[in-house]
Structure formats: structure tokens, C-alpha cells
């Protein structure tokens, strides 16, 4: 690197050692001699000032100590796309001359070793087979000579350009314009300038399906300006861009199936209404997005919203949702099947994680996966029956009644428990006996008297044991290991009950307590190994 400064250096991205920065000033800084670059560091801890020196402000920084002056020979302005590929895949002819000709290439998902590639023509032939290119952190800053990429790498479909020195969307377009079949593009970690006005729609990204623009500084308004050029886009990743406000997309992004807005502090939950009519959106990821509440005001209790008609998977982890009413609202989504909601304040209202899970399952009727764990039919049924029982007395106090003609629960109750009427239709209203206050729990009335049998080992006589109903299956297996002298890990447990007409129920989850399976006094536990 020398004191040479490229034309249009202002706004360019540079690398100084391992630190990234943006050039904000090029020129002299009296009383010193020579040319200086005023840079704003990505990491403000690297800087010394805000662009002011000896009382003169040469440039501005977002952070009061985010700027420095450096000599041009300290700044790496990067390389063109094709040079980065040759360096990355060991096809740089200058380096080959120095270090021999053994090379390893990646074609799609295959790694192939080539020996004796001493011909440039042969090297270019191998470049032409590359389908999946990764030049992450390779200091790419520009496209290079026109048509050189298309002539050399005609079969590229997937490009990872993350964490480079690209400073404008124009550069990305220049590279993509020479890749006819581009399907996947990751330009995350490049702080770029995007178009501020609508541009003519070209066919550059006509086949693009997946686009990652994480940590690029893009706004939602800029997304909408660029989006007409992405007619087939299915997945869009926009994490960590300081996006606060959204706008209605209009007739663009209509093919989008996945949208990730994680780590953007949205102004409020109502921002979601502005993207609620994307017709094919199946997955919405909103981790750590500052959301405090969710509501769909177009639908009443027990009705489905017209918003997010295709949404199947929703991630709202690490937000500020404190009220159960937001979870109630999620039942209005007509297609919701999977929810992630860890680390929200509403979860602190219930100390028992198992009870918390059951409450969420009971409140959202079509949910099949909760926090990456499947919900089997038996778990759903148990959760809904328990919910119907737990809130039965509240239902009665609010005007609920076993007689349909007198059943008129208050609006307040329905707002807190909108699924309760449908659960009563599904299972019947809770019976009076179910809702009577239970006796205080004592160790005596928590103990279950169970018969332990080994149906495949007739020589083992049945044994009666008294076990707490809170005992987990894992601990039961440990007890049986000591009792029967066999390894607990090999045991398969099930139980029979007189109420089940000879059917067996598998005790298949080591972490669940006996009470989870509705085991009662006098039931028989069957042990196999």
C-alpha cells in the first residue's frame, strides 16, 4: 500500500489491519504535510475524536470518538471480485508461480483437488465450474473489468459476499449483472449506500430467491425501493439494521416466504400490521425487535384475522411482551403452526415451566411446535382439559353456566380466555365435581399405590410400591433398576388401568412426572427390557 488514493474515495469502505472503517474525508490536515484520510471506524473504541482536529471539523461521526486520521498507505481499499475468487480458491497465477500448482476447488458441495494446473486456460475452465462461491472477508470492494466475471465464472448460482468492503448497492448490482443464474446472495456486514429514489427495474436479480442484507444499514424504505428488482425473492434477511418503522409493500415482495427482522428495535407492535398482507409469508422472525404487544384488531374473540394469511412459523423470542393477551391474539392467525417465544416477561408470571407450556398450548388451538418441541395430540388434550378445569371457577363467577340458555360469561372473562367457549364445546363444560376445592396436598394423598409387573419375565413376581405422583419417569426407572437389578437405560415402561379397557399407555418421556400420564391408585406399571 502506498500514498495512492483511488478516485471517489469518499464514502469508500477500507480495512486497516483487522478493523473496518468508512472514508469520510480526503485531503490535508494543517499543519502536517501530505494527504490524510479521515475515517469513521465501525468500532468507535478504535477512534480518537469526532472528525475535529485543532478546532477545525473535517468530517462528522455518529459517535463522539468514532473518528481518526490515517495515512493512505495504512488503508486497504480492497480488490475486485474475480481477484478475490482466485485468491480464495488458489487460482492466482502469480501465487501459483511462487508456490507450485497444487490447488483445491469447491464445486457446489464437492471439494476436488487438481494437480499440475500450470495453464491459465485450464484454471479458467475450472473457475467456470464453480457454482457456490464464498469470498467472505476477502476485502472485495468492486466488480472489476466489465464482462470478466461472466466470461470466467458463468455457472455461479450462490454467492457469499459478507464482511467485505462493498460501499454501495450499485457495486452489488454490477457483480450480479454478470451472473445470469444467481439464486442466493449474502452481502451482510457491508455498510452500503442504497438508492434513495426509485430506479428502473432491470432483470439483474430476476432469478434471486434468497437475499441476506444483515448489518448493511439498509432502511425499510430503501428495501421497498430496491424490491421491484427482486421479482422472485422468497427469503429476505434484514437483521441488525436499526429499522424502526415499516411501510406497506404495495405490489412488491409478493413472493416472499421468509422475513427476518431480528435485532431491529421496531417502534411498536403495530408496525407488523403494515406487512400483514404479504400473501405468501410463511415464516416471520422477530427476535429482539422491541415488541411489547401483538394484536389483530380486525378479528373478535374466537375469530380468525385476515392478516398474515399464510404465516406458519413465528419467532418472537427476547422481546418485551408482558401480557398474556398477546398470546391470546396469536390464536387468531389462521395458519400458525410453530411458535418460539422464550425470554419474554409474560413467561415470568408462571414459575413452573411445564404449566407455562400447557397454558400456551391451550391458548393457541392450531399450534404443533412450541419452542422447537413438538406438541403430540396427548399433550394438547391434557393441556386443554387442565386449562378448562383451572379456570372453571372463574368462568362460573363471570356468568358461565352449565345450562346453555343461562351461559353468558362476561366480556372481561372472554378477553382473558377467548378459547374457553370452544374448549367447552370440544370437551363439554367442566362438571361441578371437577371444580370443587381440593383437599390440601399432603404426602399421603400424593402417594400412588402401583403394581409393578414384568409381563415378559413370568418368574418376576408382581410388586406393590407407593410412589409420589410427582416422581419423574427417569426416577422411576432408577428405582426399578435397583429393585430388578437391570440397567435403567434399557427399561421400557407402560401402564394399564381398569379405565382403559386393557389398553397400554407408554411412559415414553423420562422428564415427565407420573401425574402427567394420569396414573391413578391401583394402576399397573408394566416393565420390559
Whether the pLDDT of residue 115 is over 50: the answer is no
- Burial grade of 353 (CB within 10 A; 0-12, 13-18, 19 or more): exposed
CA distance linking residue 337 with residue 421, whole number of Å = 21
CA distance linking residue 135 with residue 82, whole number of Å = 10
Mean pLDDT of 415-433: 89
- 181 and 263 both lie in a single domain: yes
- Residue 116 resides in a domain: no
- 356 and 246 both lie in a single domain: yes
Nearest alpha-carbon partner for 52 in 42, 234, 40 = 40
The reported pLDDT for the residue numbered 489 is: 56
Nearest alpha-carbon partner for 259 in 327, 221, 311, 323 = 311
Buried b (16+ CB within 10 A) or exposed e, 2-41: eeebeeebeebbbbbeeebbbbbbbeebeeeeeebbbbbb
What is the four-CA torsion angle of 141, 147, 153, 154, rounded to 10 degrees?
140
Whether the pLDDT of residue 471 is over 50: the answer is yes
- 66 and 152 both lie in a single domain: no
- Residue 101 resides in a domain: no
Give the CA diameter of the chain: 100
CA distance linking residue 466 with residue 469, whole number of Å = 9
Mean pLDDT of 394-406: 91
Least confident of 152-156, 216-220, 490-494: 490-494
Written as nine digits, the cell of 78 is: 480492497
- Residue 1 resides in a domain: no
What residue numbers bound the domain in which 430 lies? 389-434
Alpha helices in 364-458 (DSSP H): 377-390, 392-397, 411-416, 420-427, 432-435, 443-446
Whether the pLDDT of residue 421 is over 50: the answer is yes
- 180 and 247 both lie in a single domain: yes
- 420 and 474 both lie in a single domain: no
- 175 and 198 both lie in a single domain: yes
The reported pLDDT for the residue numbered 504 is: 87
Specify the CATH number for the domain of residue 358. Answer: 3.80.10.10
3-class DSSP state of 30: coil
- Residue 414 resides in a domain: yes
- 368 and 407 both lie in a single domain: no
**Structural domain count of the chain:** 4
CA distance linking residue 306 with residue 299, whole number of Å = 8
pTM for the model = 0.77
Q: How confident is the model at residue 476 (pLDDT cuts 50, 70, 90)?
A: confident
Written as nine digits, the cell of 322 is: 408482558
Q: How confident is the model at residue 124 (pLDDT cuts 50, 70, 90)?
A: low
The neighbour count for residue 313, using CB atoms within 10 Å, is 17
Q: CB neighbours of 184 closer than 8 A, spacing ≥ 6?
A: 157, 158, 159, 208, 209, 210, 211
- 451 and 481 both lie in a single domain: yes
CA distance linking residue 207 with residue 468, whole number of Å = 61
- Residue 3 resides in a domain: no
Assess whether the previous peptide bond of 31 is cis (omega < 30° from 0): yes
Mean pLDDT of 121-130: 71
CA distance linking residue 236 with residue 213, whole number of Å = 8
Mean pLDDT of 117-140: 77
Mean pLDDT of 329-356: 94
- 248 and 342 both lie in a single domain: yes
Q: How confident is the model at residue 433 (pLDDT cuts 50, 70, 90)?
A: low
Q: CB neighbours of 206 closer than 8 A, spacing ≥ 6?
A: 231, 232
CA distance linking residue 230 with residue 342, whole number of Å = 33
Pairing of strands 524-528, 492-496: antiparallel
- Residue 332 resides in a domain: yes
- 264 and 289 both lie in a single domain: yes
The reported pLDDT for the residue numbered 459 is: 87
CA distance linking residue 127 with residue 124, whole number of Å = 5
- Can you count the helices (H) and strands (E) in the chain? 15, 26
CA distance linking residue 191 with residue 79, whole number of Å = 17
Kindly report the average pLDDT of the chain as a whole number: 88
Least confident of 108-117, 172-181, 398-407: 108-117
The reported pLDDT for the residue numbered 121 is: 57
Written as nine digits, the cell of 491 is: 427399561
DSSP state of 81: H
Whether the pLDDT of residue 251 is over 90: the answer is yes
Q: How confident is the model at residue 482 (pLDDT cuts 50, 70, 90)?
A: confident
The reported pLDDT for the residue numbered 447 is: 84
- 144 and 17 both lie in a single domain: no
- Residue 383 resides in a domain: no
SS3 of 307-343: the string is CCCCCCEEECCCCCCCCHHHHHHHCCCCCCCEEECCC
Specify the CATH number for the domain of residue 53. Answer: 2.30.30.190
The neighbour count for residue 61, using CB atoms within 10 Å, is 21
CA distance linking residue 275 with residue 223, whole number of Å = 13
3-class DSSP state of 163: coil
- Residue 296 resides in a domain: yes
Whether the pLDDT of residue 182 is over 70: the answer is yes
- Which element (helix H / strand E) includes 528? strand 524-528
- 190 and 240 both lie in a single domain: yes
User: Is the separation of the CB atoms in 124 and 152 below 8 Å?
Assistant: yes
3-class DSSP state of 396: helix
- Burial grade of 462 (CB within 10 A; 0-12, 13-18, 19 or more): exposed
Amino acid at each position: 500500500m502506498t500514498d495512492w488514493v483511488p478516485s471517489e474515495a469518499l464514502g469508500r469502505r477500507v480495512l486497516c489491519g483487522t478493523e473496518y472503517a468508512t472514508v469520510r474525508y480526503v485531503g490535508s490536515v494543517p499543519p502536517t504535510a501530505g494527504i490524510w484520510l479521515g475515517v469513521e471506524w465501525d468500532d468507535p473504541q478504535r477512534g480518537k475524536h469526532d472528525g475535529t482536529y485543532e478546532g477545525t471539523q473535517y468530517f462528522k461521526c455518529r459517535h463522539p470518538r468514532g473518528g481518526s486520521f490515517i495515512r493512505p498507505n495504512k488503508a486497504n481499499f480492497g480488490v475486485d471480485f474475480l481477484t478475490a475468487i482466485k485468491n480464495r480458491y488458489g487460482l492466482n497465477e502469480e501465487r501459483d508461480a511462487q508456490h507450485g500448482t497444487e490447488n483445491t476447488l469447491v464445486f457446489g458441495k464437492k471439494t476436488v483437488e487438481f494437480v499440475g494446473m500450470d495453464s491459465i486456460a485450464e484454471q479458467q475452465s475450472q473457475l467456470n465450474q464453480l457454482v457456490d462461491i464464498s469470498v467472505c472477508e476477502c476485502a472485495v470492494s468492486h466488480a472489476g473489468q466489465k464482462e470478466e466475471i461472466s466470461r470466467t465464472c458463468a455457472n455461479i448460482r450462490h454467492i457469499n459476499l459478507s464482511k467485505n468492503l462493498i460501499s454501495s448497492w450499485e457495486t452489488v448490482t454490477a457483480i450480479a449483472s454478470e451472473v445470469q443464474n444467481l439464486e442466493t446472495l449474502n452481502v451482510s456486514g457491508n455498510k452500503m449506500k442504497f438508492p434513495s429514489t426509485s430506479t428502473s427495474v432491470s432483470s439483474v436479480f430476476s432469478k434471486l430467491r434468497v437475499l441476506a442484507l444483515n448489518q448493511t444499514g439498509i432502511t425499510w424504505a430503501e428495501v421497498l425501493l430496491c424490491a421491484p428488482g427482486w421479482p422472485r425473492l422468497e427469503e429476505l434477511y434484514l437483521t441488525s439494521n436499526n429499522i424502526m418503522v415499516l411501510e406497506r409493500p404495495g405490489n412488491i415482495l409478493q413472493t416472499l416466504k421468509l422475513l427476518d427482522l431480528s435485532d431491529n428495535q421496531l417502534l411498536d407492535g403495530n408496525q407488523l400490521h403494515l406487512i400483514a398482507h404479504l400473501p405468501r409469508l410463511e415464516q416471520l422472525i422477530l427476535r429482539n425487535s422491541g415488541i411489547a404487544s401483538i394484536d389483530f384488531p380486525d378479528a373478535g374473540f374466537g375469530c380468525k384475522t385476515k392478516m398474515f394469511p399464510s404465516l406458519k412459523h413465528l419467532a418472537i423470542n427476547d422481546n418485551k411482551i408482558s401480557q398474556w393477551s398477546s398470546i391470546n391474539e396469536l390464536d387468531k392467525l389462521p395458519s400458525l403452526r410453530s411458535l418460539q417465544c422464550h425470554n419474554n416477561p409474560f413467561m415470568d408470571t408462571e414459575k413452573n415451566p411445564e404449566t407455562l407450556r400447557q397454558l400456551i398450548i391451550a391458548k393457541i388451538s392450531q399450534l404443533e411446535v412450541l419452542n422447537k418441541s413438538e406438541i403430540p395430540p396427548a399433550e394438547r388434550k391434557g393441556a386443554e382439559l387442565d386449562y378448562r378445569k383451572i379456570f372453571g371457577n372463574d368462568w362460573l363467577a363471570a356468568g358461565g353456566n352449565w345450562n346453555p340458555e343461562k351461559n353468558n360469561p362476561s366480556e372481561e372473562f372472554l378477553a382473558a380466555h377467548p378459547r374457553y367457549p370452544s374448549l367447552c364445546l370440544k370437551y363439554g363444560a367442566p362438571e361441578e365435581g371437577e371444580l370443587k376445592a381440593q383437599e390440601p396436598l399432603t404426602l399421603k394423598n400424593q402417594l400412588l399405590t402401583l403394581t409393578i409387573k414384568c409381563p415378559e419375565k413370568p418368574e418376576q413376581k408382581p410388586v406393590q410400591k407407593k410412589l409420589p405422583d410427582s416422581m419423574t419417569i427417569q426416577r422411576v426407572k432408577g428405582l426399578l433398576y435397583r429393585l430388578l437389578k437391570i440397567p435403567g437405560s434399557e427399561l421400557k415402561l407402560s401402564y394399564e388401568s381398569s379405565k382403559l379397557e386393557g389398553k397400554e399407555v407408554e411412559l415414553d418421556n423420562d422428564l415427565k412426572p407420573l401425574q402427567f400420564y394420569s396414573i391413578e391408585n391401583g394402576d399397573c406399571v408394566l416393565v420390559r427390557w
